[in-house]
Amino acid sequence: MIMADTVKDLLIEYIERELSESRKQHTYGVVSEAKALAKHYGADCKKAELAALSHDIVRDKPQEVLDDYVKKFNLDTSYIGNSNLSHAKIAAEIIKRDFGIVDTDIINAVSYHTTGRPGMSLLEKIIFIADAIEPGRTYPGVDELRNIAYENLNKACIKALENNINYVNSHGSYVDRDSILAKYDLMAEERRLNEQ
């Protein structure tokens, strides 16, 4: 078993070596946002930090390299040619294989950081939203999402999922089933909470 701080150091060393300057800034932005959200919502800050450091570790690899990983790790062939989705699934495999991460919550938070999924844990929601609102993000509506994120995490996830679904639709691409299921699952969770 590798100690958490060693894993953190190994991840930072990898990020510093392998990622572009802008991806490094984004990653460290997600780390600070994820830690702030974890503190705010009473989640494990160490796990949030490791998941945030891990989430985009293969994002800068060329498409051919990612496609090779999809085959090597026996991931669904629909990920071939789709780096937007595959980088999350591959990162989840790499952190298990190369960094000794065994915590399933961290692994799932990395694996579902682009799509979300039904039944997201608190950590998964935190990483999903931290990725969308980290300080370097500047798209229209990001400030509104930042405010919602610290008031109601489910509502923020629903809004971010809607943004993603609309963006993918407007580009004529295929919307991942997990995103649609995640949105309806979170809406149902919110309705249940409001009824109590």
Residues forming contacts to Fe ion in the complex (CB under 5 A) are 56, 131
By beta-carbon proximity to Fe ion, the closer residue of 93 and 131 is 131
Smallest gap from Cβ 52 to Fe ion, in A, equals 9
Dist CA 184 CA 44 (whole Å): 26
Pick the closer one to Fe ion by CB: 2 or 136: 136
- What six digits make up the tokens of 187? 């809406």
Question: Cβ closer to Fe ion: 33 or 56?
Answer: 56
Give the contacts of 147 (CB within 8 A, at least 6 positions apart): none
Q: Which helix (H) or strand (E) covers residue 65, if one does?
A: helix 63-72
**CB 193 to Fe ion: min, Å:** 28
Q: What angle do CA 67, 71, 76 make, to 5 degrees?
A: 90
Least Å distance, CB 109 to Fe ion, is 12
Ramachandran assignment for 100, one of left (phi > 0), alpha (psi -120 to 50 degrees), beta (any other): left
- Euclidean distance between CA atoms 11 and 64, whole angstroms: 23
Considering beta carbons, is residue 67 or 131 the nearer one to Fe ion?
Answer: 131
- Least separation in angstroms between residue 115's CB and Fe ion is 10
